[in-house]
Amino acid sequence: MLIIERMTHPVVTIPADLTVEQALEVMEEREIHHLPILNEDETLAGIVTERDLLRARSGEIVKNVMPPGAITAGEYTTLEEAALMMADHNISSLPVVRSNRLVGIITENDLFRIFLELLGARERGTRLTMLVPEEKGILASVTSEIASMGGNILTLGTFQGEDPTNRMVTVKVSGVSQEKLVAIMEALGMEIVDVRED
């Protein structure tokens, strides 16, 4: 998935000559925590966070408190790349630019919503977490068995396991009983870590 598919746009922005208090008012009114700052020619000058502003002196001009060298992403950057950039640089948002023109923003809240979507947090079903061997075709076996018993896979995610020989797999399934699902997965040799109805 690409940033362009999940970014917020249009973006609330401010000019660089606002005071800290004015910028905080904009944040409060719009219920946001990040404000990209535009130059007079509408190119991106930088970005400030609520934390930046709260640490600044009263009456200070925004351009004097914005951190130098805003880290940005292009609209066709993958969400994984965006998350890596944010984690590696310890930032909570990325302005999205095209030729240094702001076209959107992606924030940690956007990534949290995507995470919830990936794990099917708002969908009803049986959520099963298993430790599976790191072997070719293992996911095909799991999904084939679920399909053969009439189950519908709502979400499926793989995560690092305990060591390089295994992976943690979380699958949410509807249309099959919890007991049957667990029994079939155990028969396939999967180690059940957690099972629950969501």
Domain of 148 in residue numbering reads as 120-197
92/66 same-domain check:
yes
Q: How many distinct structural domains can be found in the chain? A: 2
87 and 26 inside one domain: yes
Last residue of a domain, one of 88, 114, 140: 114
Q: Token pair 């940033």 is at which residue?
A: 3
Check residue 159 and give its pLDDT. 93
Asked whether residue 95 falls in the same domain as residue 13, the answer is: yes
CB-based burial of residue 102 (10 Å sphere; 0-12 exposed, 13-18 middle, 19+ buried)?
Answer: buried
Residue after which a domain boundary falls, among 66, 87, 114: 114
Read off the amino acid at residue 143.
Answer: T
Q: Do 91 and 152 share a domain, yes or no?
A: no
Q: Enter the pTM of the model.
A: 0.79
Domain edge (last residue) among 91, 114, 137: 114
pLDDT in tens, 88-112: 999 999 999 998 899 999 999 999 9
- Predicted confidence (pLDDT) per residue in 21-55, tens digit: 999 999 999 999 999 999 888 899 999 999 999 99
Q: Regarding beta strands 44-49 and 14-15, do their DSSP bridges make them parallel or antiparallel, or are they unpaired? A: unpaired
Question: Is the pLDDT confidence value at 119 over 90?
Answer: no
pLDDT digits (tens, 9 = 90+) for 124-170: 999 999 999 999 999 999 999 999 999 999 999 999 999 999 999 99
Preceding omega of 10 cis (within 30 degrees of 0):
yes
